[in-house]
A and B are shown apart, each in its own frame.
Chain A
Amino acid sequence: MERFQPFFIWFGESALFFKQFFVCLFTQKFEWRQFLNQFDEIGSRSLILVGISGLAIGVVLSMQFNATLARFGAESMLPSMISLSVIREIGPIITALVVAGRVASGIGAELGSMRVTEQIDALDVSAVDSFNYLVVPRIMAGIFALPILTVYCDFIAIIGGYIGILIERNITLQEYISAAIRFLGPDDIFPGVLKTTVFGLIITFVGSFNGYKTTGGTVGVGLSATNAVVLSSLLIIVAEVVLVKISILFF
């Protein structure tokens, strides 16, 4: 049982950290300026990375599906296949994993270095609640930025799908779009977009927790950044399984 003690300690600290987030969110003044800075950092500065990933995924999906559908003579279904798979699953998960790599490590390293250089203590001594100032705005920015980034990724991936089709055959953009949205309904769009709020929470929570609790100097900062990426990516995949099951039940 002693072997599992560190895990239980970690789990307990995470739970208290999560509780503190809600306590601060609902009892303290919201740091709007910090929120906007973090929204820019997590959102705007991820646009290029998310866009490139979305485009590549769209092109690849288009080429793969085209070959498969051709066997059944169902090439006309290709735009719908692309839009449905991108919007329901691939767009959200790709966006979350790409942002996790960039943002979770960034938050882990930034807060970690602030911890080991006593900047977090300096905030506390200056009568500024460091948790409310540093952690709450980051988590809220993640929750709001991820759905927007996902919609952007979905759009770019669908355009990527069109480029993939153009390599094989000729089709106008108007024909492609009208075919792509033919079978799309709100129950395809909303679950996919909404679940990314959970992914945003996971990425920024794990990054903040690892950074804020950093110990052990510069080695600790490196570990916090690495752990933040590994753990947030893993949790996103686990959460995806759970959220898919929930969305099937409700939509």
Chain B
Amino acid sequence: MIELVNVYKRFGTLQVLNGVSLTFKTGENTVILGKSGSGKSVLLKHVVRLLDPDDGSVLVDGKNIGDFKLHQLMEYRKTLGFLFQGAALYDSLSVFENVAFPIRRHTKTPDKEVEDQVMEALGWVSLTNAAQKMPSELSGGMRKRVGLARSLILKPKVMLYDEPTTGLDPITSNEISDLILNLQKQFGTTGLIVTHDMPCAFKVADRAILLSEGNILFDGGITELENSNEPLVKTFYETSVAKRPELSL
């Protein structure tokens, strides 16, 4: 279980997180919604300790990750997968080597098995034919899918997705949403999903959180968004539904 307890974060004069307290339950998919710049990605980066809070703490199974020694932090991070907004593929490695990187670093898997696992992971994102390409040869959407394969290959207990479907066509977006859902069902993976893509949110979320100016405006089931009395939540929901009428509940 991951808990954020009264987390504050400021960059210069901008207060990005303003005393956020949240609990992410094991095996649950939580979608984090909000306008651009509302602190969603910053919140994710606190969970993996890429950022430290100015005040407050992040607890994993009751332990403050801010107190972890380097080896404890590394062990904790081995249980996580993180899909970055821009995919963050290693430019000097091919697609195959990118996806194989976590296995080769953290396991002693024989080469043949590594190859099988990499091709299987690339199959999840329909990119088996791009294995020998370099990241510079890929489109934005393909890069994101390779990034997803790389973050999923060790079948992490917790997956953090920073806008997993942005830049993808609707069909691939739908496939990625299915993949997120399957991971949760098959392996009990806990998912923290930052997204603006409401079809993806409605498909994968057990729970939705709406962030605004560093505060939590809504925390509940995704289907409860419609009944919220908070004006910004209503606007957010109505705008999403107006864009995609099929989302109406």
Contact = CB atoms under 8 A, between A and B. Distances in A.
Contact of B86 (A118, A127, A128): A118
B70 interface: yes
Nearest to B89: A119
- Which of A117, A118, A122 gathers the greatest number of chain B CB atoms within 10 Å? A122
B74 A119 contact: no
A121 B88 contact: yes
Interface stretch (B16-24, B99-107, B212-220): B99-107
| Interface residue range, chain A | 10 to 19
A122 B86 CA distance: 11
Nearest to A132: B70
B158 to A, nearest CB: 11
Contacts of A117: 86, 88, 91
Contact of B84 (A114, A118, A127, A129): A118
A66 B248 CA distance: 91
B43 interface: no
A127 B77 contact: yes
Contacts of A129: 70, 74
Contacts, number: 42
Contacts of B86: 117-118
Interface string A82-117: 000000000000000000000000000000011001
A121 B84 contact: yes
Interface residues of B, number: 21
A121 B50 contact: yes
B106 A118 contact: no
A66 B102 CA distance: 61
A188 B91 CA distance: 44
A124 B88 CA distance: 12
Interface string B148-190: 0000000000000000000000000000000000000000000
Contacts of A122: 82, 84, 88, 90
A118 B150 CA distance: 15
A125 B90 contact: no
Interface string B37-60: 000000001001010000000000
Given A117-B86, A121-B50, A126 B91 contact: no
Given A117-B86, A118-B84, A118-B86, A125 B91 contact: no
Contacts of A114: 91
Interface of B: 45, 48, 50, 70, 74-75, 77-78, 80, 82, 84-86, 88-91, 101-102, 105-106
Interface of A: 113-114, 117-119, 121-122, 124-129
17 contacts: A117-B91, A119-B88, A119-B89, A119-B91, A122-B82, A122-B88, A122-B90, A124-B50, A124-B77, A125-B48, A126-B101, A126-B102, A126-B105, A127-B75, A127-B106, A128-B105, A129-B74
